[in-house]
Amino acid sequence: MANPPAMANPRGAPPLLHPRHRRLLRSPISRCAFLLLAFAAILLLSALRQVARVDFPRPDAPRQVSSEQLWVSDGYGYNACVVPTSRYKVPGKSDRYMTVRSNGGLNQMRTGICDMVAVARLVNATLVIPQLDKRSFWQDTSTFKDIFDQPHFIKALEGDVNIVDDLPESLQSAPRARKHFTSWSGASYYEEVKELWKNQKVVHIPKSDSRLANNGLPTDIQRLRCRCLYQALRFSNPIEDLGKKLVDRLRYRGKFIALHLRYEKDMLAFTGCTYGLSDSEANELRIMRERTSHWKLKDINSTEQRSEGNCPLTPNEVGIFLRAMGYPESTWIYLAAGEIYGGDKYISKLRSYFPNLVSKEMLATKEELEKFNSHASQVAALDYIISVESDVFVPSHSGNMAKAVEGHRRFLGHRKTITPDRRGLVELFDLLEKEKLMEGPELSSLVTDMHKYRQGSPRKRYGSLPGSKGRARLRTEEAFYENPFPECICLTGKH
């Protein structure tokens, strides 16, 4: 029987095999050897591909980091401990009254309120529910009960301080002493302050922020501050309910980072940080700073601010940072922030690194947000709840919210909080810009090593900076509410 004709080679190409090679393949032994060689070649090619995948990653790929390293923070057995000591007594009735106006944004007011609770305890005065700041930059008309659960606040602290909704009717029109308490004052200062009530039954305090020292106060006063902030000063039910819903919607997607991105117009104008902005944008911020009377510093060198680590990271820099830390492109990121300056023009740079970037406006319905939208402090409270409950919290700049969230997360078991070393990162970002360094394993190694001990693990609160003197040194201490260790965190188990 004649052999079948050979298959024609398309497009006039030369024969795939020389006639002499075809004759050799007619032998069974030759065909077997050929097949074995072909199989060996396939295995070799496959092995080479595997080696290429493992040993030769993409030049811009970050160093591989385990899931545990990305998401888990070790609390080393430390827990919250806020039970009063045996020396602590329930307060008696007092005819002294303190009225307070809490100044600043949400978290400045929150920590100030808890300072005033502790002061009321020190001076044995009855605290009237504080008035909230309605004249700050945010112009929020919210009252105390709009933001906080007022009945719970009074009930939770009844063993610590007498708190009332308002002054007794007999004192409504009584003369009041007005006193600006000195910042960062200790217990001895407030022993002297008691004299104010000798002549008047009511003392009004126009500012509440930073009126207590960070260090050197009695343990029971420090623990009272913690009980106030982390247990008594709970948000109102509508805020708590929506906050928990948004957390659940994020958890449904998987683990997530809460990013406190301080890139709002007022923040950039106040700090004088204009890196990466256009000339017209930088000029707009300068004009805003000059026209805001209570911002004392007007002439700011933006380059110096940035090199000293005083500027918030830009959205693009945050993307580079988180990628270098090893977080994959698929990571969900919740944007805890106000309106970002420049809008999508700058946010798109962060989204190019992490497409799964969401905000409360994307998670909640229009109807759910409607009741909060005209109240900046209530919206900020939603961001606070989500930030505290996130798997990882990352602030792009220090500030009242960043400090309060970090302290709360430490109190709850040292949940992972990555605090960027902005000064060190700027040096790396500048090398990237000059093309003396490339994104990839080398940058990733430098960034992860730089932040090895900046991820929320237990440590004692920092004291004042070396060389600082007088009362000015108190400004350089780490804030009590940023890290309430050791007074409110200990190894002796939960209390």
Enter the pTM of the model.
0.85
* CA–CA dist 346, 350 (Å, integer): 7
| pLDDT higher at 187 or 38 | 187
Name the token pair of 417.
């909080």
Say how many residues make up the chain: 495
Name the token pair of 179.
């006193």
With residue 53 as reference, give the H or E element that holds it: helix 28-55
400-403-405-409 Cα dihedral, nearest 10 degrees = -160
For residue 66, pLDDT over 60 is answered with yes
For residue 186, pLDDT over 80 is answered with yes
Name the token pair of 493.
């188990």
Q: List the single range of 2-11, 91-100, 101-110, 202-211 with lowest mean pLDDT.
A: 2-11
309's CB contacts (< 8 A; 6+ apart) are 421, 422, 423, 424, 426
pLDDT, tens digit, 9 for 90 and up, residues 213-247: 999 999 999 999 999 999 999 999 999 999 999 99
Question: Looking at residue 92, what is its pLDDT?
Answer: 85
Closest CA to 305 of 319, 291, 289, 293: 289
Task: Tell me how many helices (H) and strands (E) the chain has.
Answer: 21, 12
As a whole number, the mean pLDDT across the chain is: 88
Beta-bridge partners for 101 = 131
For residue 56, pLDDT over 80 is answered with no
Percent of the chain with pLDDT over 90: 75
* CA–CA dist 495, 489 (Å, integer): 10
Task: Give the β-pairing of 79-80 and 489-490.
Answer: antiparallel
| pLDDT higher at 58 or 139 | 139
Report whether 185 contacts 192 (CB < 8 A): no
pLDDT, tens digit, 9 for 90 and up, residues 140-161: 899 999 999 999 999 999 999 9
With residue 176 as reference, give the H or E element that holds it: strand 176-178
* CA–CA dist 484, 225 (Å, integer): 9
pLDDT, tens digit, 9 for 90 and up, residues 269-278: 999 999 999 9
Question: Looking at residue 28, what is its pLDDT?
Answer: 55
pLDDT, tens digit, 9 for 90 and up, residues 305-315: 999 999 999 99
CB atoms within 10 A of CB 293: 6
- Going by pLDDT thresholds of 50, 70 and 90, the confidence category of residue 123 is very high
DSSP secondary structure of 358-416 = E-HHHHS-HHHHHTTTT-HHHHHHHHHHHHHHSSEEEESS-SHHHHHHHHHHHHTT---
Report whether 334 contacts 256 (CB < 8 A): yes
Question: Looking at residue 471, what is its pLDDT?
Answer: 81
| pLDDT higher at 416 or 24 | 416
Name the token pair of 234.
């709970």
For residue 184, pLDDT over 60 is answered with yes
Report, as an integer, the average pLDDT of 373-380: 92
pLDDT, tens digit, 9 for 90 and up, residues 96-117: 999 999 999 999 999 999 999 9
pLDDT, tens digit, 9 for 90 and up, residues 427-446: 999 999 999 999 999 999 99
